[in-house]
Structure 1
Amino acid sequence: MENDVAKEVEAMLEKAQPLFTTKSCCIYKVPHQIRQSSEDAYTPVLVSIGPLHHGNSRLVTMEGHKQFYCQHFIQRSEASLTDLVSCVQQLEPQIRACYSEKIELTVDELVKVIFIDCCFVIDLFFRDYERTTEDDVIFSKDWVWNRVSDDLILLENQVPLFVVEKIYNLAFASRLHGGGFPSFMRLAISYFSYFNKQGVLAPTSNSIAHFTDLIRYFILPPSHKRPLRNDGPLVLGHSAFELVEAGLKFQVNKSSHGCILDLEFEHGILKIPHIIVDDFTEVWLRNIVALEQCHYPRHHYISDYVNFLAQLVNTNKDADVLIKARIIQSNVSGHDTSVAKLFRDVDKNIIVVNHNANYLQICNDLNAFYEHPCRTKIATLRRDYFTTPWKTAASIAGIVLLLLTVIQTVCSILQLIHS
């Protein structure tokens, strides 16, 4: 007699599916251990894009406005509504495979969500590019535009970029062939120009998965300049304030060409590119780091940068060192937030398997710099005798008094000898 439990197990296993297909998946629910430290940093405030936050009651208000943008895009389009929707229908299996979570929407429901959101994004970018923003609820209020833009770079709030481009290319097929009409990637680069400090030109469409990935692409150095990666822990034994006590100097790296990751150390000077740290910095850093954890587990260059700064800027004193050197421009508000806390928080619960080889070398060199016997003594003297104005004044007075005593003693001895 066949075992009933075995039959049930067999039936269950026949329905089993992998969590996600590694090659196709590019849009992830942020892992719980990372997400729990700051839910708000991964959750859209005004507008949902894609299926993961679709239906959230907090975001319903913008649904009507998204449909208004979609309607305006269809009026611009050369292709019919039927052709545009059919395009998304054909891509539905590929779209579904891009998400790490099981999408609890029917085929038709998912097609509608993706279509409306893609059309909304295209029309939004067009309005920004053409500066046709008068009397528009998003562009007429700075706080709304900022919130929408912030929501568009969240890892959980994405649609695959290839779908948006397919719709765009179908809608403007004849105009794109002329050469004067902007590509969708050109619109996206213009919209997110704040992050494009290196002046990156349009990447190939198949190299960028979505907008979070595009922001990461802006921050990375060009592919031919990306450092090698080596195993081994990234350990900086001493913070910025301690290194300054040992005689290290900090300078802004002006030869970085806009790449914030480009650190240099030579001749007792650590050069770090300028970075503006404000209330939104934690959000975009967190989402890019989360993307690297899920999608680039062996090429996490931004995670390395955050980890290095978290060790270098361990306290408010350390942050003050970099602010004074004009490396960090701090626009952080609130009593419970600081530059040091920001980098420490983003660095929490991050798992890495290798590191930027340049950073490993810099850490080794900085540790050796501090641990040189002369510098260790200098650091000890500064820490014990020159940490506050009163200690400095007392130490100088003590040294002067000692010198005077020595001089007086020498004079007394010389006087005895001559007498």
Structure 2
Amino acid sequence: MENDDVAIEVEEMLKKAQRLFATKSCCIYRVPHIIRQLNEDAYTPTVVSIGPLHHWNSRLISMEGHKQVYCQYFIIERSEASLSECKEGTAEDDVIASKPWMASRVGHDLLLLENQIPLFVFEKIYNLAFPPLLDAGGEFPSFILLAAHAFSCYNKQGLSSPAASSVAHFTDLLRYFYLPPSHTTRHLRKPEALVLGHSASELVEAGVKFQVTNKSSHGCILDLELEHGTLKIPHIKADDATEIFLRNIVALEQCHYPHDHYILDYVIFLGHLMKTNKDAGVLIKAGIIGCIFGGDYESKVANLFGGVGKNTVVSTTSACYLKFFNDLDDYCIHPWHSLMATLRRDYFTSPWKTAASFGGIVLLILTVIQTVCSLRQV
């Protein structure tokens, strides 16, 4: 092949080149394969697709007809309805609302990262459909307010609705609900491994007490405290839905917030705490983990929190978590705490060992007393 032909072929090839992400404002992503392969079902819709990535998935075809019915109802009836009429929609003729299992699955599907439409698209359609009502003195709710209400079960902190411009889509809204109200920007740009040298059961041996954060607090799952050897962690439910929302928020942070992975930090921390089934049992007994699994539930909890953070990339380090990890390790290696941990591990692990150790101590004390008395008599 001549040089000119090669040059022409290369030019043609380059013209067809496409960016992996079209613009910096991209907010809908395919979950990276290295993460997705760990649990593909956690990222795949089971009932309905609303975004482009799973459109016409053969498993979701049955919902397409229902979507058209909803669209027809929205265009023909709802856009012409008054506010009072909109409030009187009934569930009897609603195929989703009339079947609780389907409503639950649809709710889960709408939170998946791969199953999204940008929020501004919903907002524009909504504003076009109800312009007179939206202009009627603010009586009619905005779309972001409706979305926040629809997913209010995830808003444990009772946060006010965010500005529509600050939320990319429903998965991003879910992440917003789990961030602390006054989260600060991360100022350690050089990634440093967050490694906790002691698991939950080892921390207990060293004298650390686990306690669920007071439920009267603002309810943020990231609200961790270490005070006078007591580790306070907010309550979190552990079931299949927990794994789904944690996996999708972590995937969103990996793709869209690579330098602000607050939820990933939390998952990594719990993963370090629960390295074994025994460790998971410590947090369950303390009321920190509300386990809804059956069977070998301790193993399932440990696998859940240990698996969500796998194959992720940490590009920044949270100064708060780094101090937290260091303080826990320092507490455990303190000479007195280390000695107590050794005593608990070697001599007080069971009632029989405790009784034998106590008897040995008493015998030693009596021997010392007898020896002192004998010396005095001499």
Q: Normalising by the residue count of structure 1, what TM-score does the alignment of the two structures yield? A: 0.83
Match of 2:290 in 1: 329
In structure 2, distance between residues paired with 1:78 and 1:333: 47
Alignment map for 1:5-404 (pairs within 5 Å): 5-78=6-79, 132-178=90-136, 179-222=138-181, 224-226=182-184, 228-230=186-188, 231=190, 232-254=192-214, 256-335=217-296, 338-404=300-366
The alpha-carbon distance between structure 1 residues 53 and 310, as it changes in their structure 2 partners (threshold 3 A), is same
Kindly provide the amino acid, as one letter, of the partner of residue 156 in structure 2: K
In 1, are the aligned partners of 2:237 and 2:289 still within 8 Å (CA)?
yes
Q: Read off the aligned partner of 1:244 and give its amino acid letter.
A: V
Taking a change above 3 Å as real, the CA distance of residues 341 and 162 of structure 1, as seen in their structure-2 partners, is: same
Letter in 2 for 1:168: Y
Contact kept? 2:118, 2:168, Cα under 8 Å: yes
How far, CA to CA, are the matches of 2:68 and 2:352 in structure 1? 66
Stretches of structure 1 lacking an aligned partner (at least 5 in a row): 81-125
- Indicate the residue corresponding to 1:99 in structure 2: none
Q: What amino acid maps onto 2:213 in structure 1?
A: N
Report if aligned partners of 2:236, 2:289 keep a CA contact under 8 Å in 1. Answer: yes
User: How far 1:297 sits from its partner (Å)?
Assistant: 0.3
Whole-Å Cα distance in 2 between the matches of residues 218 and 132 of structure 1?
29
In structure 2, runs of 5+ residues without a counterpart are none
TM-score, length basis structure 2: 0.91
Give deviations 1:2-31, integer Å, cap 9, x for gaps: 532221111111222211134221100000
Equivalent residue number for residue 110 of structure 1: none
1:147–1:214 CA distance, 2 compared to 1 (3 A): same
What is the aligned-residue RMSD (CA, Å)?
A: 2.2
Indicate whether 1:406 and 2:371 are aligned: no
Contact kept in structure 2, 1:79 and 1:170, CA below 8 Å: no
AA in 2 matched with 1:34: I
Deviation at 1:268, TM superposition (A): 1.4
* Deviation of the 1:408 alpha carbon: 4.1
Q: Does the aligned pair in 2 maintain the 1:277–1:329 contact within 8 Å?
A: yes
CA deviation profile, 1:111-147 (whole Å, cap 9, x unmatched)? xxxxxxxxxxxxxxx99x8673235332222221111
Say if 1:43 and 1:156, in contact at 8 Å, map to a contact too.
yes
Deviation, structure 1 residue 258:
1.2
On the 8 A contact 2:186/2:260 being kept in 1, the answer is no
Distance of 1:6 and 1:350 partners within structure 2: 40
